Amino acid sequence: MSSGRLTHALIRSLDWLAECTLPAEKLPGHQRTGRRGEEDAYFYLRRGGYVMVARNFRSPHRRGEIDLIGWDKDVLCFIEVKTRTTRAVKPAEAAVDREKQRALIAVASDYLRHVVPSCQWRFDVISVYYDSQSSQPQFESFQNAFPLA
């Protein structure tokens, strides 16, 4: 078993143990699902070769948050994760509308102040679906999901 899969299995086990023994979190169900989706997306991307460098990045100067930041070869990727339990309404990635894109670009510009100025970068969107008929999540990856301007 690879170290990434072992780490993922260990984290899942610890989450389950915490859920059984600690008082329930006061988070709504959709936020717990979103956190789970971000965690699964993190490991999905690592298995795909990404080198992850940040999770839930917030800028002190801007509103909003970037779920994941990682390198895909020599390209820095700002990754928005959208998680759903059904495909019945609309695709998860459709939630990354113009307003959300502008917020992501603003936060990413603050992050970019701390990296090599000439590095290539892009925005990716990962949709994570938890289908009640499958024990494993399904992922859809959209590289270069929207333009930078």
pLDDT the model gives residue 14 = 72
Which H or E run includes 16? helix 3-21
Q: Which of 78, 81, 79 is nearest to 120 (CA)?
A: 78
What is the Cα Rg of the chain in Å?
Answer: 16
Distance CA 124, CA 127 (A): 10
Q: Where are the domains of the chain?
A: 29-142
Pick the CATH number of 29-142 from 3.30.450.20, 3.30.930.10, 3.40.1350.10, 3.20.20.370: 3.40.1350.10
Distance CA 37, CA 93 (A): 13
Tell whether the model's pLDDT for residue 1 goes beyond 60.
Answer: no
Judge if pTM exceeds 0.85: no
pLDDT in tens, 37-91: 999 999 999 999 999 999 999 988 888 899 999 999 999 999 999 998 887 777 8
pLDDT the model gives residue 119 = 84
Distance CA 138, CA 44 (A): 10
pLDDT the model gives residue 100 = 92
Distance CA 143, CA 99 (A): 19
CA 29 to chain centre: 17
Distance CA 136, CA 142 (A): 20
Q: To the nearest whole percent, how much of the chain has pLDDT over 70?
A: 89
Distance CA 87, CA 85 (A): 7
User: Cβ distance 143 to 122 under 8 Å?
Assistant: yes
pLDDT the model gives residue 25 = 61
Distance CA 116, CA 136 (A): 37
21: left (phi over 0), alpha (psi -120 to 50) or beta: alpha
pLDDT the model gives residue 24 = 61
Local structure of residue 8 (DSSP, 8 states): H
pLDDT in tens, 87-144: 777 788 888 889 999 999 999 999 998 887 788 999 999 999 998 777 789 999 999 9
